[in-house]
Chain A
Amino acid sequence: MASTATLPSHRAPVIDERIGRRSPLQSLLGRPEVGALVGAVVLFVFFSIVAPTFLQPSSFATVLYGSSTIGIMAVGVALLMIGGEFDLSTGVAVISSAITASLFSWYFSFNVWVGVGLALAVSLAIGFVNGWILARTKLPSFIVTLATFLMLTGLNLALTRLIGGSVSTPSIANLDGFASARAVFASAVTIAGIEVKITVFYWIAMVLLASWVLLRTRVGNWIFAAGGDANAARAVGVPVTKTKIGLFMAVGFCGWVLGMHNLFAFDAVQSGEGIGNEFLYIIAAVIGGCLLTGGYGSAIGGAIGAFIFGMANKGIIYAQWNPDWFKFFLGLMLLLATIVNLIVKRRAELK
């Protein structure tokens, strides 16, 4: 009798332990971007040791600039991947945007801001068309955006040569509004004697905004649901199609920001540029913990992925190695970061 009486009181804590709460460390390890964070710290320490110049503030500003040119796109691409889709046309879409602004303003001798506005419309339209075709045909986004990628590549080259007469767009430096557009898209801010490119601030602002949208708004909830299980989401009344089209347009917007930077950092664009960059954006998002299958990831993760990219890119130069090694390094980082993501996630979820 005594043993049966003590049994419940003895068992209660055992049950409690089974349903016990996770420690803060465990919930931190359950975050999508933790693998990337570990990778970023390791890489930072590594380059600090092998390349002493890496730690100088001016070098760091350069690293941040390099990161931002990938990171601005990675914001949109990460959101899109969480929403369960891919975009292979991002690299050339950036250039398409820049070419639109440049050629239009040059041909009609308009104020460059007119071209900038038109470029925004074109970028959003490219995103919309991608999403709309995807929704109507139900083809995989891989195929749809691969087609867009090829078409845009051709259009960039053909239209630039047709209108401008060369592979590079003509200079727009003499047009009205060029100075103000350059100030907005390609200036630098001096902080404590260090020149920091304005794209770094755009990047940070966009990451913060995307995180807020993703975690604290209805649309964010819908993005996770559309990528996690589109049918389930549709069944509870989530506008999945609109969400996905919106995501493609958000990617278009990011492409516009970067395209304008590329244009106004100089005064012309090379029409053949951008090919292959789409993979860098996807890699940044994947390193940052976004699942290829959708429904999981974070905007911060994409930013950390871009930062890793920037560190590797510039770090190799500061370490005075041959930049040929960079792509190898990037591939290795991608592999390691995704494996770490996998292990950490599995371990955190088991507990």
Chain B
Amino acid sequence: MNAKQIDQKTLLQNERDPLTHTPVHLLSLDTVGKHYGNIVALRDVTMAVDNGRVTCVLGDNGAGKSTLIKIIAGLHQHDEGTLNIMGEERKFSSPRDALDAGIATVYQDLAVVPLMPIWRNFFLGSELTTGFGPFKRLDVQRMKDITKKELAEMGIDLRDVEQPIGQLSGGERQCVAIARAVYFGAKVLILDEPTAALGVKQSGVVLRYILQARDRGLGVVFITHNPHHAFPVGDRFLLLKRGKSIGYYEKKDITLEELTAQMAGGAELAELAHELESLGGHTETLHEVQAEAAAVQAESVHTR
């Protein structure tokens, strides 16, 4: 198999990014770890994010994806390794800290306040004001205009920025949150499972906005458990399993099939094959799973 892992050494010495040929990464993590009491949530994770690139973090439930983004977004602090922004070591104490460093996070479930109008959501926490002293007030018209314009630029055609954002579809809401992050000068955009709760068509819409954000020069961290969503838009892929990195690839070094196989894992597939066998009657599926398991096994032997 030809899935070649990115040489961690090269990245860590800040020599040269194989993709952009810039010496310093926008955001980089070096052997970062985190534990809650005696439970190790994350261990030995190394990854990098660059301008105009999409770094995908893949993993099943409980793989440590949310712990990873919580560290980058400033909700939790890591206790091992280093987190660098533009080559400078940082440790965020609050989400505000991370925001100020140019890291914007779009959460799957809490991206917006549903009952508030779209334009108020767009500017929430960073409202534009006009006037001085006690007469300082919201610049409503300007905020509405900017919201409309920014969303139109992202290709979202909205009826009315005054309607509650809860009335939009899940995909549209994600897009408003992405547009908001882009407008407020985010350099790194973290997307936490933006497609998890969406249908096929809506997912496609969100993936398109991820590419739009990338084309605007943002470094995107795309967290997902779906390799079919990650592969078309990603430039690098970090695979997590049980809190550990099990692979870090460039797009040219890996295929969708290999990515899927790595995600599923040989042992799990073998187990599934065994279960199917004991149930009986699923001959065709059984053969498929067995073949898949064998392929994964062979590959992991090869890479070792």
Q: How far is the CB of B117 from chain A (nearest CB, A)?
A: 9
Cα distance A212–B131 in the bound complex, in angstroms: 14
Whether B95 pairs with A228 at a CB distance below 8 angstroms is no
CB-contact partner of B160 in A22, A216, A224, A349, under 8 A: A22
Q: Are B127 and A218 in contact, with the CB atoms below 8 A? A: yes
Complexed CA–CA distance, A218 and B138 (Å): 6
Known: A235-B110, A237-B99. A225 touches B136 (CB 8 A): no
The interface-forming segment of B76-84, B118-126, B147-155, B291-299 is B118-126
Q: Quick check: B137 and A217 within 8 Å, CB to CB?
A: yes
Contacts of A41 in B (CB 8 A): none
The contact size tier of chain B is 20 to 34
> In whole angstroms, how far apart are the Cα atoms of A155 and B116 in the complex?
41
Question: Are the CB atoms of B95 and A237 closer together than 8 Å?
Answer: yes
Within 8 A of B (CB), among A13-34: 19-22, 27
Known contacts A216-B137, A217-B137; A296 and B115 CB within 8 A of each other: yes
- Asked if residues B125 and A237 are in contact (CB atoms below 8 Å), the reply is yes
A-contacting residues, B161-199, CB 8 Å: 162, 164, 167
- Give the residue name and chain of the B residue nearest to A225 (CB): B113
**A221 to B124, Cβ gap below 8 A?**
yes
Report the nearest A residue to B180, measured CB to CB: A236
**Across the interface, do A21 and B113 meet the contact criterion of CB distance under 8 Å?**
no
Is the beta-carbon distance between B116 and A235 smaller than 8 angstroms? no
How far is it, in angstroms, between the C-alpha of A296 and the C-alpha of B114 when the chains are bound?
10
Beta-carbon contacts of A266-300 to B below 8 Å, as 1s and 0s?
00000000000000000000000000000110000
Which of B110, B114, B116, B136 sits near A231, CB closer than 8 Å? B110
Q: Contact: A238 with B125, CB < 8 Å?
A: yes
Cβ-defined contact, B159 with A21, below 8 A: yes
A323 to B33 Cα, complex, angstroms: 69
Contact B125 A216 (CB under 8 A): no
B140 at the interface (CB under 8 A from A): yes
Q: B140, A216: Cβ atoms under 8 Å? A: yes
Within 8 A of B (CB), among A96-131: none
Kindly state whether residue A319 has any CB partner on chain B within 8 Å: no
Given the interface pairs A232-B111, A235-B107, the reply to whether A295 lies near B116 with Cβ below 8 Å is yes
- The interface size bin for chain A is 20 to 34
Chain A residues within an 8 Å CB radius of B114:
228-229, 295
Is residue A234 contacting chain B, with contact meaning CB distance below 8 A?
yes
Among residues of A, the one whose C-beta sits closest to the C-beta of B159 is: A19
In the complex, residue of chain A having the shortest beta-carbon distance to the beta carbon of B167: A349
Of all chain B residues, the one with the shortest Cβ separation from A228 is B113
B100 nearest CB neighbor, chain A only: A237
**Closest beta carbon of chain B to A219's beta carbon, Å:** 10
Q: How long is the Cα–Cα vector from A225 to B115 in the complex, in angstroms?
A: 9
Residue of A nearest to B138 (CB): A216
Docked Cα-Cα span, A217 to B134, in Å, equals 10
Q: How far is the CA of A151 from the CA of B105 in the complex (A)?
A: 43
Cβ-based interface call for A233 (8 A): yes
Contact partner of A225 (CB less than 8 A), chosen from B95, B96, B124, is: B124
**Known: A232-B113, A238-B124, A238-B125. Is A221-B138 also a contact (CB below 8 A)?**
yes
Contact A233–B95 (Cβ < 8 Å):
no
Chain B minimum-CB-distance residue to A291? B115
Q: Are B116 and A236 in contact (CB under 8 A)?
A: no
Interchain CA distance A94-B100 in the complex, whole Å? 42
Q: Is B112 an interface residue (CB 8 A)?
A: yes
Instruction: Tell me, yes or no, whether B129 is within 8 Å of chain A by CB.
Output: yes
Question: Do B116 and A228 touch across chains, with their CB atoms under 8 A apart?
Answer: yes
Q: Is the CB of A229 within 8 A of B113?
A: yes
Residues from chain B with Cβ under 8 Å of A225 in the complex? 113, 116, 120, 124-125
- Give the 5 A-B residue pairs with the shortest CB-CB distance, closest first: A228-B113, A237-B125, A236-B125, A232-B110, A19-B159
Known: A221-B116, A228-B115, A232-B112; 11 extra A-B contacts, CB below 8 A, are A22-B160, A212-B137, A218-B127, A218-B129, A221-B120, A225-B113, A225-B125, A228-B116, A233-B125, A238-B125, A295-B115
A-B contacts, 16 of them at CB < 8 A, read A216-B140, A217-B129, A217-B136, A217-B137, A218-B129, A224-B120, A225-B124, A228-B113, A228-B114, A228-B115, A232-B112, A233-B113, A235-B110, A236-B126, A237-B99, A296-B115
